[in-house]
């Protein structure tokens, strides 16, 4: 999403997942529909404390979404914590956290999208500055070096998907293409064969993919992946400015916001992945949400999957797009119930 999560930085909302025992569903094996499990990207930057400034998803959350038939988890994390020093090994504590999630997901037949959630920049500890990938030559080199090291850690994990970067912005489309392509080259040179998700610049919005930001023009005819195992990552929300800042949906947004991007994917014989989207329980939204899921039907579209935004251990249940189970306090005692949006998503699972 375009905005930071200031309320979530301080919130420590503990979900009662541990009381639920959900076996993995056979429906999730192989599909690319899922959810963002947010938390590891919060409060980015050096010197932050695990489980105080940021957190990682837990096993019970993974089990819950597996039971619903979801096949993939998008894992946002802070690139600065995993790659704290230029040209140095990945941080062992962060790497251990991610490996645990990858293994846990694999045990449920689920995949994990590695998502550096840093908006197109990479931190350089030598200068204390963030470098804009693609626009800054050294930033581009460091980005490729990070992915080279990440591939060493995860090329042996077939359930891992490489999401290059969350919502780049600040660089032009052609600049970002140069930065992204350096990462793709590093991933394939490292021997990884898994799927790569390539975003555009300008927050990689589907609604603006063919607009003046230049994403459509920059990526038309792209052949930079020698294995041709990639999809273009896009995001889309249904409020008035497509940012996800409002719970109110714009009429007909669900049927129209993905149209131009979908047509572009078809024309370029390319695949798309909707890595962030969501809608609230506001009366304006249900029909719009159903329309989005209809467009994403892989039987008649180039979209290969999606991940809802969001769930995670520190997300409050009153967040408009929260997808985890909510506590229902009734006469029979406390129990957890699914969010209203879950029914629509379950019906759309590929």
Catalytic residue set? 167, 276
- The vertex-270 CA angle with 1 and 233, nearest 5°, equals 15
Question: How far, in whole angstroms, is CA 317 from its chain's centroid?
Answer: 20
Q: Using an 8 Å Cβ cutoff, are 289 and 16 in contact?
A: no
d(CA 144, CA 59): 31
| Number of other CB atoms surrounding residue 5 within 10 Å | 17
Burial class (CB in 10 A: 0-12, 13-18, 19+), 3: exposed
> What b/e sequence results for 113-146 when a residue is b if at least 16 CB atoms lie within 10 Å of its CB, and e otherwise?
bbbbbbbbbbbbeeeeebbbbbbbeebbbbbbbb
How are beta strands 160-163 and 121-124 bridged, if at all? unpaired
In a 13 Å sphere around the CA of 103, the CA atoms on its Cβ side amount to 7
List C-alpha distances in Å: 253 to 224, 270, 343.
33, 23, 20
Strand partners, 272: 232, 303
Alpha carbon distances (Å) from 72 to 18, 66, 200, 279: 20, 9, 21, 19
CA separation for the pair 214, 123 (Å, rounded): 26
DSSP annotation string for 182-199? HHHHHHHHTT--S-EEEE
């Amino acid at each position: 999403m375009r905005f930071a999560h200031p309320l979530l930085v301080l919130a420590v909302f503990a979900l009662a997942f541990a009381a639920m025992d959900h076996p993995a569903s056979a429906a999730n094996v192989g599909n690319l529909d899922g959810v963002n499990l947010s938390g590891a990207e919060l409060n980015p930057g050096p010197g932050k404390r695990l489980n105080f400034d940021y957190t990682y998803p837990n096993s019970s959350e993974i089990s819950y979404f597996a039971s619903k038939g979801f096949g993939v988890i998008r894992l946002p994390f802070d690139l600065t914590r995993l790659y704290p020093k230029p040209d140095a090994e990945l941080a062992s504590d962060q790497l251990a956290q991610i490996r645990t999630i990858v293994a846990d997901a694999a045990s449920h037949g689920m995949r994990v999208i590695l998502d550096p959630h840093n908006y197109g920049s990479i931190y350089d500890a030598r200068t204390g500055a963030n470098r804009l990938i693609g626009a800054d030559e050294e930033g581009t080199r460091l980005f490729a070096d990070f992915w080279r090291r990440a591939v060493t850690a995860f090329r042996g994990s077939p359930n891992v998907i490489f999401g290059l970067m969350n919502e780049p912005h600040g660089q032009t489309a052609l600049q970002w293409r140069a930065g992204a392509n350096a990462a793709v080259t590093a991933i394939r040179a490292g021997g990884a064969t898994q799927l790569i998700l390539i975003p555009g610049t300008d927050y990689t919005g589907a609604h603006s993919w063919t607009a003046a930001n230049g994403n459509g023009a920059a990526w038309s005819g792209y052949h930079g992946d020698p294995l041709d195992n990639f999809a273009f990552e896009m995001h889309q929300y249904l409020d008035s400015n497509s940012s996800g800042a409002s719970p109110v949906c714009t009429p007909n947004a669900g049927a129209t916001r993905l149209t131009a991007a979908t047509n572009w994917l078809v024309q370029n014989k390319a695949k798309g992945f909707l890595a962030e989207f969501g809608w609230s329980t506001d009366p304006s939204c249900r029909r719009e949400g159903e329309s989005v899921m209809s467009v994403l039907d892989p039987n008649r579209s180039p979209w290969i999957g999606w991940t809802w935004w969001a769930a995670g251990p520190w997300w409050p249940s009153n967040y408009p797009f929260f997808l985890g189970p909510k506590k229902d306090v009734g006469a029979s005692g406390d129990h957890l119930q699914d969010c209203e949006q879950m029914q629509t998503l379950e019906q759309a699972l590929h």
